[in-house]
Amino acid sequence: MLIALTMGSAALAGPITIASVTNANPVATGIGVAATTFSQEGWTQATDYFGVSISAWLFGNFVNGAYLPSSGTAYLTSSLGLNVSQSFVFPDPTGSVATKVLLFSGLNLPGATYFLTLASTDTLGGAWASDLQQSSTILTASGVTVANAKYSPQANVNSANPPTSTFFQVNPTSHDFFEVVGTPVPEPSFVVLMGLGLFSLIARAKATFSVR
């Protein structure tokens, strides 16, 4: 019984959606992320997660009918003082649809408030898809809340630590499309149960071997 309970609990421990703001058809319409513009989305999680990946729906710009790739930087900062960054390339908006781009992966994030900030590193820029034209679907795990999207001109942004900068809300009903996925850190009681389950398995195996 104990073994079954432990193994069943272990099977439930896997990647889940911590927070996501999505749309069934993320068209190439959203907040510009040019060299003079920074966009930001945030969330607060009460639970610790490991193996966290963070993605955003992005698209590049067309100039004179041609797609011109441009680069950007994603900043992930937190109320705990975390400050990491990752470069990316704005994708070609094939069919006028934004592309889901993996920005971070393999992160261990303790319960805190986090800020995902996007900036362009060249003048061409790109955009972060949003629900300015359509309604989005917001999903969160237990104990997670999503903040309103924010936007700021470069003059008000400290690129070394974007959340300390002056941002203002674009629209209380609008969000940029992003997704945070991770695995909950096991509760201490779960770890104890797992240990007891393994001990029971070992004891049973030894007993079976002794009988033979």
Instruction: Give how many domains the chain has, as a whole number.
Output: 1
Specify if 200 maps to a domain: no
Specify if 190 maps to a domain: no
Instruction: Report the chain's terminal Cα–Cα distance, integer Å.
Output: 24
Q: Using CA atoms, how far apart are residues 161 and 157, in angstroms rounded to an integer?
A: 8
Least confident range of 1-15, 29-43, 64-78, 119-133: 1-15
Domain that holds residue 76: 15-185
- Residue (of 64, 45, 72, 88) closest to 183 by Cα position: 45
Specify if 208 maps to a domain: no
For 62-84, how does the pLDDT look when each residue is reduced to its tens digit (9 = 90+)?
778 788 888 999 999 999 999 99
Specify if 56 maps to a domain: yes
Which CATH number goes with the domain that contains 112?
2.60.120
Specify if 201 maps to a domain: no
For 168-179, how does the pLDDT look when each residue is reduced to its tens digit (9 = 90+)?
887 777 789 999
pLDDT greater than 80 at residue 155: yes
